[in-house]
Amino acid sequence: MGNGRGTGVKQLSENQIKEFPKLEQSAMVELFTLDLSAFGGEVYNLCNQLNEKGQPIIFAGISYTPYPIDASGFATNSQGASTRPTLSVSNMYGLVTALVDGNGVVGAKVTRQQVYARHLDAINFINGNEHADSNAVAPSFYVVETIKSLNKNLATFELAIPSESDGVKMPRRIIISNTSPSAYKGSTGVLAYRED
């Protein structure tokens, strides 16, 4: 399986696939990364939950700040354009307003990772965790396409997969499947066939 970058498609790990048929699955934890570094901003790792100790969740050695965040609309669609999920983030203390007014968030990278609680780092649990697995994650990659709403309580963003985001540029040459551009040219760089 590929890494799913550019498609928004989740790639499931072997441990996640093993977790599906169990009668009692552990809770699914959603981890979000909002990357504003392309605009001179920071990278924010956020999660809507706390760990067993009442502290920020740590996954793959990265701490995720507990912050009210919710996402929806991640359905897959095999026909036409993909769905446009929404990401809603609390605007308490005016944090999101400051980000929007500062460097902006449209075009920022968003990573959504889904991991079963049983695969979180051992540090999240009072008695440790022998099932910790930083590879047992299903990441999805998006960019902030538009700001749907922003008020003193909540900011809602529309997300798009990177290949469907406005402003994406395609190569200038014609793309033909199963053919290398060098097959069209001889050693001189001109077309390799003769015109009669």
Is 136 domain-assigned? yes
The kind and range of the H/E element at 19 are helix 14-19
Q: Which two tokens stand for residue 3?
A: 């890494």
pLDDT at 1 over 50: no
* Strand-strand pairing, 62-66 and 43-47: parallel
| Full domain range(s) for residue 118 | 14-171
Is 4 domain-assigned? no
Is 193 domain-assigned? no
Rounded to whole angstroms, the Cα distance separating 48 from 32 reads 9
User: Would you call 145 helix, strand, or coil by DSSP?
Assistant: strand
Residue with token string 């968030």: 105
- pLDDT value at residue 155: 92
pLDDT at 3 over 50: no
pTM: 0.71
- pLDDT value at residue 181: 55
pLDDT digits (tens, 9 = 90+) for 16-66: 666 555 556 678 999 999 999 988 889 999 999 999 999 999 999 999 999
